Structure 1
Amino acid sequence: MKKRVLAMLLASAMVAGSLAGCGGSSDKPEASTEDGKETAEEGSAAPEWEAYDELIANIKKETDLVKREAMMHEAEDMLMDTWAVVPLYYYNDVYMQSTDVEGIYSNLFGFKYFGFATAPNNELSLQVASEPNKLDPALNSAVDGACLALLSFAGLYKYDETGALVPDLAESHEMSEDGLTYTFTMKDGLKWSDGEALDATDVAYSWNRLVDPNTGADYSYLADGIAKKEDGTLDIAASEDGKTFTVKLAAPCAYFLDLCAFPAFYPVPQQNVESAEGAADNPGAWCLESGFVTSGPFTLKEWKHNESMTYEPNPNYYDAGKVSLKKINFMLSADDTAVFNAFKDGSLQFSDTIPTDEMKNVVNTPEFHKIATLGTYYSGFNVQSELFAGKTAQQAADMRHAFSLLIDRQYIVDTIAQADQTVANTFIPEGMLDGQGSEFRANDDAYTYPDAENVGYYDPEKTEANVEEARKLLEGAGYKFDDAGMLSPETPINITYLTNDSEGNVKIGEAMQQDFNEIGINMTVETREWSTFLEERKAGKFDFAREGWLADYNDPINMLEMWETKSGNNDMQFGR
């Protein structure tokens, strides 16, 4: 039996099963309709999620790479068969950069490095997003925040301009023969931006802070592969002289050095973190304003909230001699037109935003850049939403399936995204490796990947057959249609779509709004400014929301572990 078929059987059992992971089981008898068919008990619409959590935990312990890959395929099938995650297209990264600016580089994970750029008059003005939500590297979970962390902080390792991992704060590392112990030797003379010594003890403090529940870090699960001591802290240690840092893993981890280059693992200054006003209630209170202590090439000198940020070189950065810029100015704005106009008039030399209406005009200019990334733009349903109240888990999944069938993804790519993105049919993006040197999204003797040829998660071309199938799924979930194929007033569907207020994301929401309206589904597009959007989405204050995920490292587990019940990035509220 192909693994896809097996996984579908497992996922079907999971979706229709008990709900221990979302509110507990009920002793009440199940309600029935007059014809004897089962109807839903209140609170039973979300998929049971314990099996998924257990599978992810087992993947992280599995050392047989062939078996591990098969388990990851199974996990993705479980995820996709809930229909809560609705992939739209696979990312590529587009931006505008003046031809007189050099030295900006990025990698497959959406990280942009500005610290070693060169620009006229040694000053660079740019835009990557609006007001950042978090600047504490342990608390940030947004790409723009990661780019700012790369500017202000340093980790044990980093990515260079070729995308290769190279030592950063570490001078070197050694790995034990069994792959379970890493020992890092720190560079000599490291300092924080205030001149205080920075050493391995800062790294140990920061890594344990990352996993401390009191910190509330969305990315704490990234440390699951590190062994634990009896007291529950990580099995890590700094030498007495602060020169070496040792990490013991629970199982060999091929991407461990990638984690060492990921901002969540960057050291932060303990004294400043813990002495900041309000730290008891907000672990990130120490960096809510400019002037906080850093370790990277730049420090934040001025922050006019919702307007601008100004960075200047950190003289105590260990590689300060390679920094030529004297100032970096960030424009904080979600107004795509204003940002683009600022780029056109020379006020900005780099813009991460291109208005939809301008894309066709800039794609062939020397200022336009398009680079590959590993990520998926998608939308997602809150499985705990009142939208699914009174439905069984299978009926709720069928509803989400119906919504997915109605979305014309090719239209979104062709008329809104406009950068030759590939329409997505599953969550894990094209180009991601499988842990064995091959691409994960590939058919082999053990697995047939869902695609247009073998009954994928949806037909990527919107046809009347898709619409008719959507009607049938909704009818099975209790909805009625009139003779014209529109939802009956007896059984309306009213849904909200939550998105941040940038033009492209709003237009994608409006495109789906039109698709749903073809059968009478009423969707309201609600916009929020960036920080508010992130907080509401994380808290599950939505029915349906704009989502996007750029991988943190090149392994499928990164796209799968985020959906564990405990994950701070589990926006769809699985298991809660």
Structure 2
Amino acid sequence: MKKKYLALALAASMVVSTLAGCGSNNASTGDTPATTAETTAESSAETTAAEESTVAEEAGTTAHGPSSEAAPAWEQYDERIAAIRLETDLEKREALMHEAEDELMSTWAVIPLYYYNDVYLQKTDVEGIYANLFGFKYFGFATTPTNTLALQIASEPNKLDPALNSTVDGACLAILAFSGLFMYDENGQLTPDLVDTYEMSEDGLTYTFTMKDGLKWSDGTELTAKDVEYSWQRLANPDTGADYAYLTTVIKTKDDGTLDVAASEDGKTFTVNLVAPCAYFLDLCAFPAFYPVPQANIESAEGYAENPGAWCTEAGFVSSGPMVCTGWKHNESMTYEKNPNYYAADKVSLEKVEFMLSSDDTAIYNAFKDGSLQFSDTIATDMMATVKDTPEFHKIPTLGTYYCGFNVNSDLFKGKTIQQAADMRKALSLLIDRQYIVDTIAQADQEIANTFIPTGMSNGNGGEFRMNDDAYTYPVEDKVGYYDPELTDANIEEAQALLESAGYVFDENGMLSPETPINMTYLTNDSEGNVKIGEAIQQDLAAIGVNVTVETREWSVFLDERKQGQFDFCREGWLADYNDPINMLEMWETDSGNNDMQFGR
């Protein structure tokens, strides 16, 4: 039977459902700049569960402890993600993922704008740089006439510890300096990295990896499977504070709560036991958060007790990849040099990689134009039309979504019910002119988005997730998505009606009345394209009298404030870490370190 999930109906049902149980933390890695493309319901001890639910419904809250009055209940979402991880029937698993996306979209806290294309500039005499669908760029095997590569990928990186990084630029730096069990080759295919061979059990639950012989850290000390075991346990340990710790939930845990992984006594083999077969497990083995890191250096670093990433906040840290970081002038430049102890050093011709750390799009373009840079991952908006037809311009496909998002606990929604808050967010979303953003700011022929999970992503069962089929139909007539992304008069009228239902008053000119104003902030990092998108949204919402203040922060400050929920509305982006929809869904679990919208908190 064909199903049709109606987003607003689902949102309403969330208010009146009794939800059992509580949920149990990227470049997301999706933070590529746009130009590169508590109240509780109380009851007496004699109150029944049903009566508790009724009290909660009348208050517009849940009966499951403290929560923001207007924030959606989130226990059911957490439970659904846990079920997806355990489901082995691929059709049922896909259905559960559609249900999860329906629930996410019904909150209207996640507002997709467009699906990413990755665009960059590269000099014609530079070869060997490649990228995968997830935005990870491999610079270590590049060739240049001078064996030196000068490039730009972002401003000052937020974290260099692979386990603590959650940005695309940080992932690219991790790939240059570290190695994983697996990596992606120039064709985007998984290939062994530190691993010589591996075996998977017949039931798909146990993987045994045999490490290459003679592996070393950059300081010449031995790198073994014991380093992998330590690093994976560290990633999962809450004390580490890794945003991507939730990725380890596919692995069984022991009675003591640690991961069910083990290195052999001689450090030659590494064994992992999974809770259920996981089609993307080897992708995780190639993901930077799972890269081995050097225990001795980590735990001997000054400030380690307060900051698990203190060991790599300056140049000279021990690593294992093609290059090592030998120089770091913060907010200005970084220098990486060839690692002679890299197991495949004979395949690395580069002697040095020099990074320009900047968010000044004009300065970056000028440096590329005059030859100071050979690769630029940022293209100034004003220059896109100039460079698009040159041989130095590259556009490649990626799996990801550029979006903006609302903090569900923002004071913007104070005094509103769950449904009213969702109506407010939907209304504001309907006012955004996405086509203008793509045509005049992003300018790389991006596809306008009306779902969070992007075009081209697998459904985990041999097909594409973002398609209507006999089992599922997206709730927009004759379209694949949750709403019509075009800005029309009907959209504006619907937005006004939704805001009126949430208690807002309009004057005879269709503008918000001074008695019910909407004043909000839009938080973004300070790169030109992202700021211009914020300003475009500011103008769109001003059309009905919504007052938006665009606040900019330098990159690392922006990431921290966004993670902590210090915003009303903010710019977001997510490039998938692997080709499965759960990657776009599990980031919204209550305890996920990537749950910027603060669901369940």
TM-score relative to the length of structure 2: 0.92
Which residue in the other structure is 1:34 paired with?
A: none
Which residue in the other structure is 1:158 paired with?
A: 183
Aligned pair partner of 1:26 in 17, 41, 44: 41
Matches within 5 A, 1:525-540: 525-540=550-565
Shift of 1:241: 0.3
Q: Distance in 2 between matches of 1:392 and 1:530?
A: 34
Are 1:378 and 2:393 an aligned pair?
A: no
Are 1:358 and 2:383 an aligned pair?
A: yes
3-state SS of paired residue (2:520): strand
Q: Kindly indicate whether the alpha-carbon contact (under 8 Å) linking 2:180 and 2:193 is maintained by their aligned counterparts in 1.
A: yes
Q: Distance in 2 between matches of 1:219 and 1:386?
A: 28
Which residue in the other structure is 2:101 paired with?
A: 76
Query: Deviations along 1:517-563, whole A, 9 cap, x unmatched?
Result: 00000000000000000000000000000000000000000000000
Are 1:395 and 2:420 an aligned pair?
A: yes
Are 1:138 and 2:153 an aligned pair?
A: no
Identify if the C-alpha distance between structure 1 residues 332 and 79 changes in structure 2 by more than 3 Å, giving closer, same or farther.
same
Shift of 1:26: 2.1
Identify if the C-alpha distance between structure 1 residues 442 and 72 changes in structure 2 by more than 3 Å, giving closer, same or farther.
same
Moved more, 18-27 or 309-318: 18-27
Aligned pair partner of 1:460 in 485, 489, 501: 485
Q: Kindly indicate whether the alpha-carbon contact (under 8 Å) linking 1:15 and 1:82 is maintained by their aligned counterparts in 2.
A: no
Identify if the C-alpha distance between structure 1 residues 387 and 8 changes in structure 2 by more than 3 Å, giving closer, same or farther.
closer
Which residue in the other structure is 2:505 paired with?
A: 480
Identify if the C-alpha distance between structure 1 residues 456 and 100 changes in structure 2 by more than 3 Å, giving closer, same or farther.
closer
Matches within 5 A, 1:249-328: 249-328=274-353
Which residue in the other structure is 1:124 paired with?
A: 149
Which residue in the other structure is 1:490 paired with?
A: 515
Q: Kindly indicate whether the alpha-carbon contact (under 8 Å) linking 1:180 and 1:249 is maintained by their aligned counterparts in 2.
A: yes
Q: Distance in 1 between matches of 2:419 and 2:479?
A: 23
Alignment RMSD, CA only? Answer: 1.7
Q: Kindly indicate whether the alpha-carbon contact (under 8 Å) linking 2:474 and 2:482 is maintained by their aligned counterparts in 1.
A: no
Identify if the C-alpha distance between structure 1 residues 10 and 491 changes in structure 2 by more than 3 Å, giving closer, same or farther.
closer
Q: Distance in 2 between matches of 1:454 and 1:347?
A: 46
Which residue in the other structure is 1:12 paired with?
A: 12
1:14 maps to a residue whose letter is M
Q: Distance in 2 between matches of 1:133 and 1:280?
A: 19
Q: Distance in 1 between matches of 2:152 and 2:68?
A: 44
Moved more, 539-548 or 14-23: 14-23
Aligned pair partner of 1:510 in 500, 512, 535: 535
3-state SS of paired residue (1:120): coil
Q: Distance in 1 between matches of 2:491 and 2:376?
A: 38
Q: Number of aligned pairs?
A: 569
Are 1:169 and 2:194 an aligned pair?
A: yes
Shift of 1:43: 3.3
Identify if the C-alpha distance between structure 1 residues 342 and 362 changes in structure 2 by more than 3 Å, giving closer, same or farther.
same
Which residue in the other structure is 2:590 paired with?
A: 565
Query: Deviations along 1:247-297, whole A, 9 cap, x unmatched?
Result: 000000000000000000000000000110000000000000000000000
| Percent of pairs with identical residues | 74
Which residue in the other structure is 1:108 paired with?
A: 133
Q: Kindly indicate whether the alpha-carbon contact (under 8 Å) linking 2:162 and 2:288 is maintained by their aligned counterparts in 1.
A: yes
Moved more, 4-13 or 539-548: 4-13
1:305 maps to a residue whose letter is H
Runs (5+) with no aligned partner, structure 2? 24-37, 45-56, 62-66
Shift of 1:18: 7.1
Q: Distance in 1 between matches of 2:59 and 2:268?
A: 64
Moved more, 10-19 or 66-75: 10-19
Q: Distance in 1 between matches of 2:43 and 2:80?
A: 30
Q: Kindly indicate whether the alpha-carbon contact (under 8 Å) linking 1:39 and 1:391 is maintained by their aligned counterparts in 2.
A: no
3-state SS of paired residue (1:360): helix
Query: Deviations along 1:11-59, whole A, 9 cap, x unmatched?
Result: 4322555799794632179xxxxxxx96768931000000000000000
Query: Deviations along 1:79-118, whole A, 9 cap, x unmatched?
Result: 0000000000000100000000000000000000000000
Which residue in the other structure is 1:220 paired with?
A: 245
Q: Kindly indicate whether the alpha-carbon contact (under 8 Å) linking 1:563 and 1:574 is maintained by their aligned counterparts in 2.
A: yes
Which residue in the other structure is 1:33 paired with?
A: none
Q: Kindly indicate whether the alpha-carbon contact (under 8 Å) linking 1:408 and 1:462 is maintained by their aligned counterparts in 2.
A: yes
Are 1:543 and 2:558 an aligned pair?
A: no
Which residue in the other structure is 1:85 paired with?
A: 110
2:40 maps to a residue whose letter is S
Which residue in the other structure is 1:424 paired with?
A: 449
Q: Distance in 2 between matches of 1:536 and 1:290?
A: 26
Q: Kindly indicate whether the alpha-carbon contact (under 8 Å) linking 1:404 and 1:458 is maintained by their aligned counterparts in 2.
A: no
Identify if the C-alpha distance between structure 1 residues 189 and 39 changes in structure 2 by more than 3 Å, giving closer, same or farther.
closer
Which residue in the other structure is 2:71 paired with?
A: 46
Query: Deviations along 1:460-502, whole A, 9 cap, x unmatched?
Result: 2111110010000000101000000000000000000000000
Are 1:3 and 2:3 an aligned pair?
A: yes
Q: Distance in 1 between matches of 2:78 and 2:58?
A: 28
Q: Distance in 1 between matches of 2:384 and 2:17?
A: 47
Query: Deviations along 1:119-168, whole A, 9 cap, x unmatched?
Result: 12110000000000000000000000000000000000000000110000
Shift of 1:3: 3.4
Q: Kindly indicate whether the alpha-carbon contact (under 8 Å) linking 1:402 and 1:471 is maintained by their aligned counterparts in 2.
A: yes
Q: Kindly indicate whether the alpha-carbon contact (under 8 Å) linking 2:41 and 2:59 is maintained by their aligned counterparts in 1.
A: no
Q: Distance in 2 between matches of 1:252 and 1:569?
A: 24
Q: Distance in 1 between matches of 2:443 and 2:475?
A: 25
2:374 maps to a residue whose letter is Q
Q: Kindly indicate whether the alpha-carbon contact (under 8 Å) linking 1:7 and 1:74 is maintained by their aligned counterparts in 2.
A: no
2:42 maps to a residue whose letter is D
Q: Distance in 1 between matches of 2:230 and 2:402?
A: 35
Q: Distance in 1 between matches of 2:477 and 2:145?
A: 50
